[in-house]
Structure formats: C-alpha cells, structure tokens
Amino acid sequence: MEDPMATTAGAEGGPGLLDALYEGENAVVRLLRAGVSAETVDEEGASALYLAAVSDRPGVVRLLLAAGADPDRACGPEGGDLPLCGAACGGHTEVAEALLAVGARPDLREQFGFTALRWAVGLGHARTAEVLLAYGADPCLPGPGGESPLLLAARRGSLETVRALLRHGAGAVEGTVEEALGEARRLLGTDLEQELRAGLLDLYEDAAAHEVVVYRSLVDGGETLTVELVRNGRAAAGRDQQTGHGAIATVLESELGLRAPFEELARRALRSGNPELDNWRVPAEALCVRGDEETRQAAAAWCASGDPLRRAFGADVLARLGVPVPPLPGARTSPSGA
C-alpha cells in the first residue's frame, strides 16, 4: 500500500523539492511552506531526507526534520537505506548529530545488517563514530559478519576511532581487545600498499589498461594511504586504508597492561619515519610513561646511532623524560665563553 505521508517525484512539488535540496535552504523552505511533503521520494524510492543526509546538507536535514520527516524511515530501491547510515558512511558528522538529536536510533540496522556505527568505524570516520557513541550506539554490537567494532577500527588503522570505542566501553566483552590487538599487530607486518594494489587489480579485468596512482595524506596525526586506478586522467576505482596500526597496537597493549619491548616500540616509530605521526608519538609517549632506567639507557644508545631517524627518536624520548640529550659521538663542543 502506498504511504499516504509520501509525495513521489511524479506528484506535484516532488521533483521541485528534490532539486531544491541542492539549491539551498531557502528553496527548500519555500516548497515546504507551499505544502510539499517532507517525506518526498524520488523515482528509486530514496527519500529527500536520505538524499540530503548523503549529500552532507545539515541545514536542509534540519528543515526536513522540522517539517515532519521521519529520521528512521528506510528508503531506496529495496527499502533498506537509512538516513543515519547514509550520513555515517560519508562521515557527515553534523548531519548525523542532527538526526540523532531528534531521536534517530543509532543501532538501527539497514537491509544487510549494517548500523551507522559499523559504517563510521569501518571507514575510519572517528568524529562521526564519537557522536554516535555519545548518543548511545552500542560499542560492542557486532557487525553483519560478527566482527566487533573495535576489531574493525583496528583493521582500518584509525587510532582515534579505537580510542573513541575504548572510552565508551568497547573492551567490555571478554577477548575483544586481545582480538583487536592481534589484528593491529598482523597489519604492522603487512605491506599495505601492495595489498591495496593487489585488491584493485583482482577486482578489475582491464586493470592493466589503467595507471596505478598511490598517494598519502596526513590528517590529525594519522596517515591515509590511497591507491587508485586512473585512466585518461580520471580515477576509475580506488581503495584507501589508514595506517595507524603501530599506535593502535601500543594503545591496546596499554589497555591490557602489556609491556612491549622498548626495541619493538622504537621499531614502530621508525617504521612511520615521521615524528608528526601517531605511529611515532604514541610509542614515544608509552616509553615516557614507563620511564625506567632501562628505557633511559636505550634512548641514550639510540642517540648515538648512525641512523638519523633512530637518533631523532632517542632524542625525542629523552626530551619527554626531561633528560638532557647527550652530544653525538665526535660532535664538537664550543669553547667556554665562546
């Protein structure tokens, strides 16, 4: 039976509202005031609210909600798409918060069993995950494959998502933290770039006709690795992966009260090769918290290394400990009074 609350794209005002979503809030206000239903759907069954959510238009989302749009109404060709999940998939935090503020249920599942938190965690949208958790999303609710959110966050390589989940109790289920730690450690030994390349090449039969482009971007202390298949200057397909597995392993070890060898912590930092990254900073902070004589001696020895990165890491650890950095072997000292 047709929903009497909905106005289809074929009805008067329907196409206008769907177009107005992309024209601005004033256009939407005019149509809503003219009596066009906030529950308008397009020819494929996608609701105006869902389209505004996936397009990251928080102002329009608020207008539709104020006009009576149901934040939990599923839509789309199979009737399985939820506005909150659409927002979470895109990492549209402000939209997600607008939906949650009027009562959207954070643990409601889409057609194939995905929740909004499952989307946000799996794609590394830490801020969106934090908002969902703050509004009551279950940090331990398994995904459609039975995997825990913490495991997915560790696999994705998003340190901030892991931290958000831990703050909200993701480690309450026995074995969850250990499983996530095992995944982070496994990926520490994986060539992520090669794995992404192989995955793309396996998916596309004509992959050989494309150029493979790899780039890395730094955001909020983390790094995202992206591999794309490019043809005629345009990306045809791509995959990305966050790379915070060293920092994640260190945080999860701390959660479990485990003490990684100081050489292992140094290896994680040196693998990142960048003092600005979490993979460097978190192991350095862990050594600072440890602060024992063995750690001080190890850091001092690193300062005498022939590897400039190892020297930099040793100096960083000593500085955090408040210990003067020893001069490098053979370094000249200024004469007194010079």
pLDDT in tens, 245-276: 999 999 999 999 999 999 999 999 999 999 99
Q: 228: which strand partners?
A: 213, 238
Claim to verify: residue 209 and residue 315 sit in the same structural domain: no
Number of domains composing the chain: 3
Confidence of residue 100 (pLDDT cuts 50, 70, 90): very high
Q: How many CB atoms lie within 10 A of CB 278?
A: 27
Claim to verify: residue 218 and residue 310 sit in the same structural domain: no
What's the average model confidence in pLDDT over 60-86? 96
Tokens 């920092």 map to which residue? 247
Claim to verify: residue 38 and residue 96 sit in the same structural domain: yes
In a domain, 326, yes or no: no
Claim to verify: residue 316 and residue 228 sit in the same structural domain: no
Cα(315)–Cα(296) distance, rounded to whole angstroms?
10
What integer best gives the mean pLDDT of the chain?
91
Cα(103)–Cα(106) distance, rounded to whole angstroms?
9
In a domain, 20, yes or no: yes
Q: 171: which strand partners?
A: none
Cα(223)–Cα(268) distance, rounded to whole angstroms?
14
In a domain, 1, yes or no: no
In a domain, 330, yes or no: no
Claim to verify: residue 67 and residue 105 sit in the same structural domain: yes
Claim to verify: residue 238 and residue 305 sit in the same structural domain: no
Q: Which domain holds residue 27?
A: 14-138
Residue 13: is its pLDDT beyond 70?
Answer: no
What is the predicted pLDDT for the residue at 15?
Answer: 60
What's the average model confidence in pLDDT over 157-172? 97
Confidence of residue 329 (pLDDT cuts 50, 70, 90): low
Residue 4: is its pLDDT beyond 70?
Answer: no
Claim to verify: residue 230 and residue 269 sit in the same structural domain: no
Of the listed ranges 13-17, 135-139, 176-180, 207-211, the one predicted with least confidence: 13-17
Q: How many CB atoms lie within 10 A of CB 338?
A: 5
Cβ atoms 168, 133 nearer than 8 A: yes
What is the predicted pLDDT for the residue at 138?
Answer: 98
- Which of 138, 164, 181 terminates a domain? The answer is 138
Q: Is 217 exposed, middle or buried (0-12, 13-18, 19+ CB in 10 A)?
A: exposed
Claim to verify: residue 233 and residue 263 sit in the same structural domain: no
Claim to verify: residue 36 and residue 62 sit in the same structural domain: yes
In a domain, 172, yes or no: no
Q: 41: which strand partners?
A: 8, 47
What is the predicted pLDDT for the residue at 235?
Answer: 87
Of the listed ranges 114-118, 235-239, 256-260, the one predicted with least confidence: 235-239
In a domain, 8, yes or no: no
Buried b / exposed e across 187-206, counting CB within 10 Å, b at 16+? bbeeebbeebbeebeeeeee
Claim to verify: residue 122 and residue 23 sit in the same structural domain: yes
In a domain, 58, yes or no: yes
The CATH number of the domain holding residue 86 is 1.25.40.20
Residue 231: is its pLDDT beyond 90?
Answer: no
In the chain, the N- to C-terminal Cα span, in Å, equals 91
In a domain, 28, yes or no: yes
The pTM of this model reads: 0.90
Claim to verify: residue 22 and residue 103 sit in the same structural domain: yes
Claim to verify: residue 73 and residue 123 sit in the same structural domain: yes
